[in-house]
Amino acid sequence: MKTPVQHDNKMMEAMHAMMQEMSNASLHGDPDNHFARMMQLHHAGALNMGNLVLEHNGDPAMAEMVKTMMQKQKEEIAALQLFLNNHRPMPHTEHAGFNTEMKKVMDNMDLLAEQENLTGDPDQDFATLMVHHHQAAIEMADLVIGHGADPAIKKMAGMIKTDQEAEIQWLQKWLNERRGIH
């Protein structure tokens, strides 16, 4: 159940908008194609959330991290689009197990985000939600690494996973410092 803060929370609204986009996306295609399209939408959601942090003009360290993250994700969106432009999946190449697992990852991210007690502070809420957001990206990357066929998309998934793991560590450290946890 949403708390009043979460209901009117711009960061949560951006997260929900991303989830809606991902839910509406076609699940047709092989795991490589599916991953590339879903990760584009996932990154676009992170960009929208990051813009809320930058508009807020709060913690300078958070703003710098967000700018760095956004630059990487813009580059990855472009690379994913290039992959999609050049990778035409054969008809009937869907992988039902992959699609089911991808949906579970998204549903879990949404569930965990809904359970968070958001504050209304864009920096704090971004960090809190982005931990779950990035964890979902890591799980998506693991899925395509395990089920995909294209070496280039598997390599990109590995790089996304590495970047997101490092960002989660940074975000958790930032959150812990604000909570007085060392």
Residue 26 lies in a domain: no
Residue 90 lies in a domain: no
User: Quick one: tokens of 44?
Assistant: 């676009």
Residue 4 has a pLDDT of 41
Residue 128 lies in a domain: yes
The total number of structural domains in the chain stands at 1
Residue 122 lies in a domain: yes
Residue 167 lies in a domain: yes
**For residue 73, what are the domain limits?**
4-18+31-85+95-179
Residue 24 lies in a domain: no
At 127-170, the pLDDT tens digits run 999 999 999 999 999 999 999 999 999 999 999 999 999 999 99
What is the distance between the alpha carbons of residues 98 and 103, in angstroms, rounded to a whole number? 9
Residue 28 has a pLDDT of 66
What is the distance between the alpha carbons of residues 107 and 114, in angstroms, rounded to a whole number? 11
Residue 23 lies in a domain: no
User: Looking at per-residue confidence, does 30 or 125 come out higher?
Assistant: 125
Residue 100 has a pLDDT of 86
Instruction: Read off the CATH number of the domain in which 131 is found.
Output: 1.20.1260.10
What would the mean pLDDT of 34-57 be, rounded to a whole number? 94
Residue 41 lies in a domain: yes
At 23-34, the pLDDT tens digits run 887 666 789 988
Query: Which segment of 61-65, 83-87, 96-100, 176-180 scores lowest on mean pLDDT?
Result: 96-100
